[in-house]
Amino acid sequence: MSELHKFLFEGLPVRGMLVRLTDGWQEALRRRESAGAFDAPLRQLLGEMTAAGVLMQGNIKFNGAVVMQIFGEGPVKLAVTEVQSDLSFRSTAKVVGELPATDNGHLPLEVMVNVNGKGRCAITLDPKDRLPGQQPYQGVVSLHDEKGPLHNLSSVLEQYMASSEQLDTKIILAANDQIAAGLLIQRVPVEGKANLEGATSDVDAIEMDEHYNRISHLASTLKQEELLTLDAETILRRLFWEEDVRYFEPQQGASGPRFACTCSRERVADMLRSLGQEEIDSIVAEQGQVEIGCDFCGQHYHFDPVDAAELFNNSADTPPSSSTLQ
């Protein structure tokens, strides 16, 4: 069962989360098969993005969607993960070329999406009930640092958290076709007492560095194989057995992370209306119907000539919508 575990280190400005996506991640891959399965390196990247997206949503408790996008140049034009406030997630990618062969099912970012150093990672926070004129918040970082290209998603997101959020963060990610998992360790500012239970305001900067660096180092010893094969309790016990850790009830089942797609026939109909009746009529004349497939879940929506005509029956009363499957 997919689950998200939250914990904090008593009296220290450090918190953590561990996510393991099992049935939900497998369902996401199964749904994608109807639209064509992705190659193994891209499935691994999407799995890591999905686990990271759940960690970020669980970390900030945002009432809206957390959307993570990796884009640039290479065989993968775009990879995207969306996680809602209830921890439901969906992921997909747009592929424009063939990925190179690999023996271990892994390819670095500079091969997939960061060719010529033009890759970017964008994190968007899209409020659920956006006010008129309100724009989503978006932070964008390069897939490079001062030393050169960043080879994996963990390094990219650590850079994002440091530059956009000014928070020291250690992230370990791993994914295969059965499990997508991640561990996040983060230093919390002393001023944020709402997020730092048990910490005192007189903890000086040196002590903060020492505590965070020690726990971050312990987290960095976690191997990807262990993250994929061991249960959450075993991982946390092995890593932090000498620390005073407070664990919270894991989020799982209906309240935990799970696959869910927000596409619907109504949203597709809104998108078709936005194209205009002339465009839709031309598609029906050429193909006999309009067929739309969701890139996230593989669901297909069919509109025969009667359905297509009904889209515009009330067009005078209903303005076109810009809703899309994304």
Q: Which CATH number belongs to the domain containing residue 150 in this structure?
A: 3.55.30.10
Residue ranges for the chain with pLDDT beneath 70? 34-36, 190-205, 314-326
Quick one: pLDDT at residue 224?
A: 94
Is 285 found in the same domain as 176?
no
- Identify whether 319 is part of a domain: no
- Identify whether 58 is part of a domain: yes
Is 72 found in the same domain as 105?
yes
- Identify whether 196 is part of a domain: no
**Cross-strand partners of 137:** 125
Quick one: pLDDT at residue 237?
A: 94
pTM over 0.85? The answer is no
Quick one: pLDDT at residue 190?
A: 62
Instruction: Give me the domain span that covers residue 272.
Output: 265-310
Quick one: pLDDT at residue 150?
A: 87
- Identify whether 323 is part of a domain: no
The CATH number of the domain holding residue 275 is: 3.90.1280.10
Is 297 found in the same domain as 216?
no
Task: Calculate the CA 220 to chain-centre distance.
Answer: 21
Is 222 found in the same domain as 170?
yes
Quick one: pLDDT at residue 315?
A: 46
Evaluated on CA atoms 243, 246, 252, 255, the torsion sign reads negative
Quick one: pLDDT at residue 318?
A: 38
How many structural domains compose the chain? 2
pLDDT, one tens digit per residue, over 198-252 is 444 444 667 777 889 999 999 999 999 999 999 999 999 999 999 999 999 999 8
Evaluated on CA atoms 81, 163, 221, 191, the torsion sign reads negative
Is 255 found in the same domain as 269?
no
Q: β-strands 258-259, 88-95: how paired?
A: parallel
- Identify whether 185 is part of a domain: yes
Is 162 found in the same domain as 96?
yes
Is 269 found in the same domain as 177?
no
- Identify whether 321 is part of a domain: no
Is 106 found in the same domain as 85?
yes
Q: At what angle do helices 153-164 and 40-60 cross, to 10 degrees?
A: 30
CA atoms within 13 A on the CB side of 44: 20
- Identify whether 325 is part of a domain: no
- Identify whether 95 is part of a domain: yes
Is 230 found in the same domain as 161?
yes
